[in-house]
Structure 1
Amino acid sequence: MAALQTDILRLQGFKPVNSLAVDMGLGHIKDAFPNATFPLGAVHEFVSTKTEDAAATGGFMAGLLSSLLGTSGAALWISASRTLFPPALKSFGIHPDRFIFVDLQKEKDVIWAMDEALKCGALAAVVGEMQEISFTASRRLQLAVEQSQVTGFILRNHYRQLNTTACVSRWKITSLPSEPVDDLPGIGFPTWRVELLRIRNGRSGVWDMQWRDGKLLPVYKSLSQVPEQQQKTG
């Protein structure tokens, strides 16, 4: 049965050998993924309706990309109206020069450029910002990554219709208040509510996460939520 499940996942675009090669630093969130591994060589969709949520999504994605890029990887960031402030990437351990920013005029050009970029196996990841994407277009992107094993991220900011796509997952990231520093609010570690709305062959869930000490860490509301092993180690 285990071998059959592995074969089914492989046919659906999950490449377990490559996925095990990178620890995305998601902690217990990884239990929601098939084989408890973040799917690489796949396209992930992030949705937001507000400007502040788009900024939170960019921060959470930067945390993921920090692990994915490692020490030598490169990525493309393609958009028609870029929301990312490149110097902010340093807060997540990424030098902006690791990204090639492609700013285009029309959203349809963003989809075309992302499709072409995902075919380049020399890239670690490709990020595309767009409002809308059809199932057909998302299927083309998924087929591209299954060949190149590049990981794709779609940011759908201010989307008009949340339609079905071929992406392996759909996420929604919202900002949470950070802990105050010296009684000054808003300058503590970035904190987010992470909603995994859909994951193929996995299970959805909601977690509170924080970027601290160069990695993603869970936020616990009480001691009872802390795993027993972590309680023993402090």
Structure 2
Amino acid sequence: MSQQKADILAGLQADILRLQGFKTVQNTVLEAGLGPLKHAFPNATFPLGAMHEFIAVRPEETAAAIGFMGGLLNLLMSSNRAVLWISSTRMLFPPALKGFDLSPDRFIFVDVQKEKDALWALDEALKCSALVAVVGELPNMSFTHSRRLQLAVEESQVTGFLLRNQPRTIGTTACVSRWQITPLPSATVDDLPGIGFPKWRVHLQRIRNGKPGTWDIQWTDGRFVPVYQPVFTIQQTQQQAG
């Protein structure tokens, strides 16, 4: 492909992204911390001012999704703005945020009794441009409701995270991305399992104008880094078998 054609295609893609509400926002901390995930997003830029959906079918996936979102929020919260966390059955233990260098006092927790109240609170919170992000724990979401949320963030430029814990049906939503995070065993420290850096298998099932994929990721020193499986030689394998 000639350079002229490549420039034309790049310009058309930029126009399409702009018409779809995608706005490029410079966040050098976020871009530097995404690691291999960065190239899955349009223009290699994580979509801010957008709704991101996380599907968690099992309890361990819920915990993994919350941990992964903790890493994303760490990269987003370089400013002094707060995060609002809304739920009718909150799964997060606030002191655990410190594991991702997040201060719990920068989070505002809204716990309600009913899902419909959580949806209303989420809809209203996403309109508040004073927030850096809003997290909503809602198992079920219709396309109509998700479209309303997406329109709200496109206007306010607040980034929304929707954690769908054990949904009755998954269906189609208007969210820009859909993720499923599964836990991986962390590295042992002094022969003690489970206390190393958190690891996940990250499934980016859908990303508007991006490239879905699957990565094994570890959260280390304030960034996402790839996890490489050890490669054993034939001799090592034979020695282990013996």
Structure 1 pair 136/174, CA: closer, same or farther in 2 (3 Å)?
Answer: same
Which residue of the partner structure matches residue 167 of structure 1? 175
- Is 1:33 aligned to residue 57 of structure 2? no
Which residue of the partner structure matches residue 229 of structure 1? none
Whether the 8 Å contact between 1:121 and 1:149 is mirrored in structure 2 is yes
Deviation at 1:222, TM superposition (A): 4.4
The DSSP-based 3-state class of the residue aligned with 1:124 is strand
Whether the 8 Å contact between 1:132 and 1:160 is mirrored in structure 2 is yes
- Is 1:23 aligned to residue 30 of structure 2? yes
The aligned amino acid for 1:202 is: G
- Spell out, residue by residue over 1:30-75, the C-alpha distance to the aligned partner (whole angstroms, 9 max, x if none): 1111111100000000001111110111001000000101141211
Across the aligned residues of Structure 1 and Structure 2, the Cα RMSD in angstroms comes to: 1.3
* Structure 1 stretches lacking a partner, 5+ long: 224-234
Which residue of the partner structure matches residue 197 of structure 1? 205
Which residue of the partner structure matches residue 179 of structure 1? 187
Whether the 8 Å contact between 2:85 and 2:136 is mirrored in structure 1 is yes
* Structure 2 stretches lacking a partner, 5+ long: 1-7, 232-242
Of the structure 1 ranges 1-10 and 47-56, higher mean CA displacement relative to structure 2 is found in 1-10
Q: Give aligned-pair identity as a percent.
A: 66
Whether the 8 Å contact between 1:43 and 1:169 is mirrored in structure 2 is yes
User: Which of these two proteins has the greater Rg computed from alpha carbons?
Assistant: 2
Deviation at 1:131, TM superposition (A): 0.7
Aligned pairs for 1:99-138 within 5 A = 99-138=107-146
* Runs of 4+ displaced beyond 6 Å: none
Determine the C-alpha separation between the residues in 1 that align with 2:220 and 2:28: 23
Determine the C-alpha separation between the residues in 1 that align with 2:38 and 2:224: 12
- Is 1:65 aligned to residue 73 of structure 2? yes
- Is 1:221 aligned to residue 229 of structure 2? yes
Which residue of the partner structure matches residue 216 of structure 2? 208
TM-score by length of 2: 0.89
The aligned amino acid for 1:63 is: G
Corresponding residue to 2:86 among 73, 78, 85:
78
